[in-house]
Amino acid sequence: MMLLRVRTSTTDAPTFDAEALIKEARRRQRRRWLIVGLVVLFAIAGFFTASVIARSPRTTSLLARPLHFPSLQPGESCPATAGATVSNSFFSGVALGNGPARVLISNRGDLVQGRADLGFATDTPGWFALQTLWFAMPGYDGPFVVRAKRLGANGPIEVQPGQTGLEPGSGPLVVPAGPTLNTTDGFRTMPGSTWVTSGGCYAWQVDGRNFSEVIVVDAAPAVGGH
């Protein structure tokens, strides 16, 4: 137990309120533990949510929609989607997309221009991660699904986590209607990663109720990577 030494008041010395100091220390401690808890929850909730979701008829119909990724010819520049800053009481950063469901990327890079640095390899040999936070804008509480493809070249890309949530799985990312495990101020979020094996031009197709959008990111080669 921490003891606070309180100076006896004199006419020339300032007074200290020991009770107020203790309350402030406790408030700051609670805040630190809250931040730690949110970080842990934020990191793992996407995996567990995606793992237990059974595909509903609504999400199955979304997955049946045709893909409409743009073509990219040799020598053409990656048609990266411009990013915009988003900030609220829950999260902040640069997000890509203009529809009801968007993606915030936490990698370094010129994200306003849609360019992200892959950085270093993940724990899974040969794979690199784009750290993503998928979120639905307030006012949209319907389902959405995410499928992905590399543009202009062959190369794997995965948006679904594996068994531990820290390595690539397979298949689309499916977010059902209603609140996720991480919902605050109307923002429904799904933290996770998109896994690739090299730099390149990559696209996500996001399909939801009454909308379909393609979001493109130009991923710079990883340092010491491919």
- 3-state helix/strand/coil string of 56-79: CHHHHHHHCCCCCCCCCCCCCCCC
Where is pLDDT greater, at 46 or 76?
76
Where is pLDDT greater, at 208 or 16?
208
Asked if 155 contacts 219 with a C-beta cutoff of 8 angstroms, the reply is: no
What tokens were used for 116?
A: 């992200």
Residue 44 lies in a domain: no
Residue 6 lies in a domain: no
What tokens were used for 72?
A: 């990219």
Residue 54 lies in a domain: yes
Angle at 163 between CA 161 and CA 169, to 5 degrees: 40
Domain assignment of residue 119, given as a range: 50-220
Residue 31 lies in a domain: no
Residue 62 lies in a domain: yes
Domain count for the chain, please give it: 1
d(CA 175, CA 133): 12
Where is pLDDT greater, at 70 or 34?
70
Q: pTM of the predicted model, to two decimals?
A: 0.74
Judge whether residue 21 has pLDDT over 70: no
Residue 9 lies in a domain: no
pLDDT at site 121 = 65
Residue 8 lies in a domain: no
Read off the pLDDT of each residue in 71-96 and give the average, rounded to a whole number: 94
Where is pLDDT greater, at 29 or 67?
67
| Least confident range of 75-84, 120-129, 208-217 | 120-129
